[in-house]
């Protein structure tokens, strides 16, 4: 074989390999946008007591659930909602049973996750309100759903908040959870910190907040190693969600008017992240953490690495 022929064959092989690699890259699914918190499912033993809390006090209008179930639907904003279901007989400790995230293309996201080695359902479901969705478990066994579209009842001007800005849950398999949310789903670091300065060890955080890749809502990882969750506490459910408000003080004043007995048990406080907080507990002790959209003082531990949510109309 002459030198010219060898070079030509070599160039042909390189070009062919480059073409195959390029074709493979083109065929690999691309992650569609994940824009924010869509809804949550909360478990309560007494739906009547829950209706007073979510409907009368917080001001979210109640309606029938989107699909037939033993549940009540509470519309938060234009698309966000809370679904409260009757707690099952086995009385699970995690009363926030599902977190749903909004995507612009649920079918493409299912294909993207499957292509990245994530176990997903065989198909996407269509709900009664027209939304498309699939649910799965994250690496810590927490149930999450991805949803797209749908028609919803209108929110109420009586609501203390019309925007859930984050949800939080404990994390045990820290490395696997970080890989799933940060590397695979594309979430972005937002803030991290610790509960107290006393005895804190550098590099050991209690909290890590990560924003959705295409919005400002976030998920809070409570990095559970026994430091920040009092064992045996009957009134502390670590899983929680946070409605955003312009002013925690103003939110507290509304709670005082609507349920003085409930207001007497709580008080506004300043969070470690520099944002005001008001922690209410529903009848089954799920924590509803009203939080200022913007920090009012410099956060402890670390600076914010992304923009905070803004009030929505």
**3-state secondary structure string, the chain?**
CCHHHHHHHHHHHHHHHHHHHHHHHHHCCCCCCEEEEEEEEEEECCHHHHHHHHHHHCCCCEECCCCCCCEEEEECCCCCEEEEEECCCCCCCCCEEEEEEEECCHHHHHHHHHHCCCCCCCCCEECCCCCEEEEEECCCCCEEEEEECCCCCCCCCCCCCCCEEEEEEEECCHHHHHHHHHHHCCCEEEEEECCCCCCCCCCCCCEEEEECCCCCCEEEEEECCCCCCCCCCCCCEEEEEEEEECCHHHHHHHHHHHCHHHHCCCCCEECCCCCEEEEEECCCCEEEEEEECCCCCCCCCCCCCCCCCCCCC
- Answer whether residue 92 is part of any domain: yes
75 contacts 61 by C-beta, under 8 angstroms = yes
The pair of three-digit structure tokens given for residue 283, joined into one six-digit string: 């009848």
User: What integer pLDDT is reported at residue 125 of this predicted model?
Assistant: 96
User: What integer pLDDT is reported at residue 5 of this predicted model?
Assistant: 58
User: What integer pLDDT is reported at residue 234 of this predicted model?
Assistant: 41
Q: Over the stretch 270-281, which tens digit does the pLDDT of each residue have?
A: 998 999 999 999
Distance CA 206, CA 228 (A): 7
Nearest residue to 242 via CA among 217, 216, 266: 217
How many beta carbons lie within 10 A of that of residue 195, not counting itself? 16
User: What integer pLDDT is reported at residue 227 of this predicted model?
Assistant: 42
- Answer whether residue 261 is part of any domain: yes
User: What integer pLDDT is reported at residue 237 of this predicted model?
Assistant: 59
Q: Which domain holds residue 249?
A: 34-292
Q: β-pairing, 218-223 with 207-211? A: antiparallel
For residues 37-64, b (16+ Cβ closer than 10 Å) or e, as one string? bbbbbbbbeebeebbbbbbebbbbbbee
Distance CA 135, CA 29 (A): 19
Q: How many domains does the chain have?
A: 1
- Answer whether residue 286 is part of any domain: yes
Chain-centre distance of CA 210, in angstroms? 9
Distance CA 300, CA 244 (A): 20
Q: Over the stretch 185-204, which tens digit does the pLDDT of each residue have?
A: 999 999 998 877 776 667 67
The whole-model pTM stands at 0.86
Distance CA 136, CA 142 (A): 8
**CATH number for the domain harbouring residue 186:** 3.10.180.10
User: What integer pLDDT is reported at residue 231 of this predicted model?
Assistant: 45
User: What integer pLDDT is reported at residue 233 of this predicted model?
Assistant: 45
- Answer whether residue 13 is part of any domain: no
- Answer whether residue 310 is part of any domain: no
User: What integer pLDDT is reported at residue 248 of this predicted model?
Assistant: 97
Residue 31 CA neighbour count, 13 Å, CB half: 18
Mean pLDDT, each 10-residue run in order, the chain (313 residues): 55 51 65 97 92 97 73 93 88 86 98 97 93 96 96 94 95 93 97 79 82 97 59 58 97 98 95 94 93 93 89 70
Nearest residue to 207 via CA among 302, 306, 307: 302
User: What integer pLDDT is reported at residue 23 of this predicted model?
Assistant: 47
Distance CA 256, CA 264 (A): 8
- Answer whether residue 309 is part of any domain: no
User: What integer pLDDT is reported at residue 87 of this predicted model?
Assistant: 86
Distance CA 259, CA 49 (A): 13
Q: Measure the N-to-C terminal CA separation of the chain; round to a whole number of Å.
A: 74
- Answer whether residue 213 is part of any domain: yes
């Amino acid at each position: 074989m002459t030198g010219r022929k060898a070079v030509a064959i070599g160039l042909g092989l390189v070009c062919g390999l480059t073409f195959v690699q390029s074709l493979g890259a083109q065929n690999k699914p691309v992650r569609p946008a994940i824009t924010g918190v869509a809804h949550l499912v909360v478990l309560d033993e007494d739906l009547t007591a829950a209706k007073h809390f979510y409907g009368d006090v917080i001001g979210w209008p109640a309606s029938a659930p989107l699909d037939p179930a033993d549940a009540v639907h509470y519309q938060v904003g234009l698309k966000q909602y809370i679904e409260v279901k009757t707690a099952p007989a086995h009385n699970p400790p995690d009363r926030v049973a599902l977190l749903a995230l909004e995507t612009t293309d649920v079918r493409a996201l299912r294909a993207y996750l499957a292509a990245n080695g994530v176990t997903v359902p065989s198909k996407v479901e269509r709900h009664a309100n027209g939304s498309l969705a699939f649910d799965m478990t994250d690496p810590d066994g927490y149930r999450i759903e991805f949803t797209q579209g749908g028609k919803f009842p209108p929110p109420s001007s009586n609501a203390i908040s019309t925007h859930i800005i984050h949800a939080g849950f404990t994390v045990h398999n820290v490395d696997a959870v970080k890989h799933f949310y940060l590397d695979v789903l594309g979430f972005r670091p937002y803030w991290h910190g610790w509960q107290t300065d006393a005895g804190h060890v550098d590099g050991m955080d209690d909290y890590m907040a990560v924003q959705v890749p295409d919005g400002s809502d976030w998920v809070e990882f409570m990095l559970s190693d026994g430091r920040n969750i009092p064992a045996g506490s009957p009134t502390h459910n670590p899983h929680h969600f946070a409605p955003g408000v312009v002013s925690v003080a103003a939110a507290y004043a509304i709670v005082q008017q609507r349920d003085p007995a409930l207001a007497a048990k709580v008080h506004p406080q300043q969070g470690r992240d520099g944002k005001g907080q008001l922690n209410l507990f529903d009848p089954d002790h799920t924590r509803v953490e009203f939080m200022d959209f913007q920090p009012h003082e410099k956060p402890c531990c670390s600076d914010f690495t992304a923009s905070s949510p803004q009030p929505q109309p």
